[in-house]
Amino acid sequence: MNATSDLDALRGLEPAAVEQFYRDHAPSVLGWVIRLGGARLDSEDVAHQVFEVALQRLPSFRGESSPRTWLYGITRRVVANARRKQAIWSFVGLETWLGVDPGPDPEMVSGRESQRRRVQEALDTLPFGHREVVVLLDIEERPAAEVAQMLDVPVGTVYSRSHHARKAFASALKRKGVTAEAVLSWGGVA
């Protein structure tokens, strides 16, 4: 959705434009929902809520930011509200959103699942603001300037939050008995 005519078609709720908007952004929205705190069974429902809210708020979208940044703002509010209501408090295993194939060996599968679960549990202990910085900066590897825009905060705030979040995450990982190698194996924080 780059052209003004595409935005106008979307605002007019033209079926083809709405479908294209969903196709373009659904994978990112679902990933954000899962990473920021959604259970697998609920995450698709929450992602659907994000698109419902987005379509309702289209008239107020001024186009000053990218649709992706705008959708992230909606996603974080919908997830935060759902978490407050405790509708989506249990978290999905990392293999779901990392696409890791644990392999056929049952012992290896059990070990990997246990390790992934402990990494996810450590991530779950972070306050929401710290978790989203870890997810965006370290897991999705987005530039700090983009994260600042997505969170609507100064870049310095992103760096400050990431410093505190990484310290808290490292401490939580240590408490869970997770090694740096385990985190690196799924592309997370070093």
For residue 98, give every residue at least 6 positions away whose Cβ sits within 8 Å of its Cβ, in sequence order, or none: 116, 186, 187
In the chain the first and final C-alpha atoms are separated, in Å, by 35
Read off the pTM: 0.56
Q: Domain map of the chain by residue range?
A: 4-84, 96-185
* CATH architecture of residue range(s) 4-84: Orthogonal Bundle (1.10)
- 82-94, pLDDT tens digit by residue? 776 643 334 444 4
- 74-124, pLDDT tens digit by residue? 998 888 887 766 433 344 444 444 455 545 555 555 566 777 778 778 888
Going by the DSSP 8-state scheme, the letter that residue 58 receives in this structure is G
Backbone angles phi, psi at 104, to 5 degrees: -85, -20
Q: Assess whether the region 4-84 and the region 96-185 belong to the same CATH fold.
A: no
* CATH architecture of residue range(s) 96-185: Orthogonal Bundle (1.10)
Rounded percentage of the chain residues whose pLDDT exceeds 70: 74
CA proximity to 32, closest of 125, 131, 170, 121: 131
